[in-house]
Amino acid sequence: MTSRQSRVLLALCVVPVLAIISCKPTPSPAGLAVKQVTISNCIATPDPVTLSVKAGDQVRWVNADAVGSYTIMFTPPSPFTAGTTFPLPQGGSVSSGGISSSAAQCAHTSGSCTYKYTVAGSNGCSQDPRVIIQQ
């Protein structure tokens, strides 16, 4: 085998390997998965919203109403690190923050834990949807 044939053979072997390596998908950076809950006419959709501790999920509540604001309230303990009360302005949104260590521990121990929260509207409406935290 000549040196030219060796180089051609080497190129035929190396190029497919490099193509496979370069086409390998890069893992997405560790980030939070955001689950959206839309509030419209005082109704939260979806209800319940299910979050995963492993995925690092958060909730983003969105006020879809053109008029009025809402307050999202958890009776302590909140399943989120950002607190128990989340003001939701007219046409705006608010994020829950990460899942609290106590909610993560509950999900780890029980498989899943359910938390009720209250959506209170500036017009006096009220609803009690749920958040489910799973391992």
CATH code reported for the domain at 38-134: 2.60.40
Q: d(Cα 118, Cα 73) in Å, to the nearest integer?
A: 5
Please state the pTM of the whole predicted model.
Answer: 0.75
For the chain, the domains span 38-134
**What tens digit of pLDDT does each residue of 57-112 get?**
999 999 999 999 999 999 999 999 999 999 999 999 999 999 999 999 999 999 99
Q: Is the peptide bond before 87 cis (omega within 30 degrees of 0)?
A: no
